[in-house]
Copies of this chain bind each other. A is one copy, B any other.
Amino acid sequence: MMIITEESSNKVFGGWQKVFSHESKELGCKMKFGVYIPPQAETENVPVVYWLSGLTCTEQNFITKGNSQGPAAKHGFLVVAPDTSPRGCNIEGEEDDWDFGTGAGFYVDATEDKWKTHYRMYSYITKELPAVIAANFKVDHERAAIMGHSMGGHGALICALKNPGMYKSVSAFSPICNPINCPWGVKAFTGYLGEANKDAWREYDACELAKKYNGPPLEIFVDQGKADSFLEKGQLLPDNLVGACAEGGVPVVMRMQEGYDHSYYFMATYMADHFDQHAKFLKA
């Protein structure tokens, strides 16, 4: 199951931005993911950083627009950027909405009958993909970090909080901090987890998980644009994360950035800061 196929390869900042495909066992379909291989990986096992993208994205958005390869080369991080959902599984309705189904896996393991066979992005990100990476690249998974944007910021936060010690560092841009209390999250969790099973919802909510976090020290680093239209629409709820982290004793740096929106322009601006943040923990 660890066989991967190279789809593209481009030299950038002295390393290689590649895209691979593989047959995912968790998701029951062919998946693509980006891998930036820094120059340092030619001679040593390097730390690995997972990037989780937001709604509607494929593996391409981050690798073309994220301004990530320069900072990754500087620190010598291998950066893995998976797709955001299963694709082409022929589930009725999977293509109907931009914020549910294809492009919107929400990093949960679905329990509803219609979705539970394929929509297992949580297990894909935390189990299958790390095994695939470990089998194929010169990485040191003892030094792993995770980060993401919007839906992927939510994904990064829950992966880190649910697996104490697995990721040494976590950061996010404009994360959906409290999905059980915002329209995007309620729609997704209702669809994938069922309306009734609120216990399952809470197990995928960063605020709920932060309140009860019990593990090695974990610092959460977040950039949030103050001109982000989804902030005013109540989809992101960063204040709730700050409050939950206080309750759970989890340190959080929440940087509210004047004038910035929800786009990759915002992320490109501060991407280097996030890699510097991860370096504090991955190169300690």
* A interface with B by C-beta (< 8 Å): 10-14, 17, 64-65, 67, 69-70, 225, 227, 259-261, 263-266, 268-269
**B64–A264 contact, CB under 8 A?**
yes
Q: How many copies does the complex hold?
A: 2
Instruction: Find A12's partner among B12, B70, B269 (CB 8 Å cutoff).
Output: B269
**B11–A268 contact, CB under 8 A?**
no
Q: Which of A11, A13, A17, A225 has the most CB of B within 10 A?
A: A11
| Residues of chain B with a CB closer than 8 A to A67's CB | 67, 70, 268
| Residues of chain B with a CB closer than 8 A to A264's CB | 64
**B10–A261 contact, CB under 8 A?**
yes
**A11–B260 contact, CB under 8 A?**
yes
Instruction: Find A265's partner among B17, B265, B268 (CB 8 Å cutoff).
Output: B17
Residues of A contacting B: mostly? mixed
**B11–A265 contact, CB under 8 A?**
yes
Excluding A12-B266, A67-B70, 16 further A-B contacts by CB distance (< 8 Å) are: A10-B261, A10-B263, A10-B265, A10-B266, A11-B225, A11-B259, A11-B261, A11-B269, A12-B265, A12-B268, A13-B268, A64-B64, A64-B264, A67-B67, A69-B268, A70-B268
| Residues of chain B with a CB closer than 8 A to A17's CB | 265
Q: CA A70 – CA B272 in complex, angstroms?
A: 11
| Residues of chain B with a CB closer than 8 A to A263's CB | 10
Chain B nearest CB, measured from A247 CB (Å) = 33
The verdict on A266 contacting B227 (CB below 8 Å), with A65-B64, A65-B65, A70-B67 known, is no
Q: What are 6 of the A-B contact pairs (CB < 8 Å)? A: A11-B225, A11-B269, A12-B265, A13-B269, A65-B65, A67-B268
| Residues of chain B with a CB closer than 8 A to A266's CB | 10-12
Q: CA A10 – CA B268 in complex, angstroms?
A: 12
| Residues of chain B with a CB closer than 8 A to A259's CB | 11
Q: CA A236 – CA B12 in complex, angstroms?
A: 21
Q: Which of A12, A64, A67 has the most CB of B within 10 A?
A: A12
Q: CA A269 – CA B269 in complex, angstroms?
A: 16
| Residues of chain B with a CB closer than 8 A to A14's CB | 269
Q: CA A65 – CA B13 in complex, angstroms?
A: 14
Q: CA A13 – CA B12 in complex, angstroms?
A: 21
